[in-house]
Amino acid sequence: MPGKNLPLGRATREAYGDALLELGKANKDIVAIDADLAKSTFSWTFGKQFPERFFNIGIQEANMVGMATGLASSGKIPFISSFAAFVLCKGFDQLRMGAAYPHLGIKVIGSHGGISLGEDGVSQQSVEDVALACALPGFVVCIPADEHAMKKAVHAAAAHPGPVYLRLGRPKAHVLYGPDVEFEFGRAIQLRDGQDLTIVANGLLVAQAVMAADTLAEKGIEARVLD
């Protein structure tokens, strides 16, 4: 069971890059599109290995979604990557009409989610991306908590027949799981048992929830933590 002294691992965006590269090696139908942020989203690792299946189209998120719908309609599995604030906000109408209602297997990757890049200002921060994604019919929405959960989520997204939104973080994430963590969309993972209250969290805040539960335990309050 993880505790207060959680080690810092890699950022979930780095784990995404690794998992995307693994998928590319295993499946020739995997393609990646990025809106001029490949170095930040780590999709560049895929592009370096598979340049013929990687498209950096510049700052045009809506067109990126349109390209992905065409690729998905042709039997490909497109992963489209940008900052969460851009890919959901700027591409929402295309995601709604082009991916959600036709239920196409587009995998949307929103990096630097929330206020995890506070120093870049409000134009880069995204506090509404999850609400927007949850409003899209048929979308699976997932915010993995650490590098191991992220890799599992990327592989699960590729196997899922419909559209998926994965939110990535910029900073390094505390390690909560091992490489063999059992992962399933829609199923919570219990990290800490407790009878007094339950804390439900996702993404980077899961580690904070575990640490908060440990602090509560020192005061005699046993909190369950669900990711």
Catalytically annotated residue among 14, 52, 61, 182: 61
Longest dimension (CA), the chain: 58
At which residue do the structure tokens 């799981």 appear? 177
The CA distances from residue 164 to 139, 157, 186, 204, 213, in Å, are 5, 6, 12, 19, 31
147 has catalytic annotation: no
DSSP 101-165: TTT---EEEEES-BTTTGGG-TTT-BSSHHHHHHTSTT-EEE--SSHHHHHHHHHHHHH-SS-EE
Q: Which residues contact 126 (CB under 8 A, 6 or more apart)?
A: 83, 84, 85, 88, 89, 110, 112, 113, 114
CB distance 78 to 20 below 8 Å: no
Residues involved in catalysis? 61
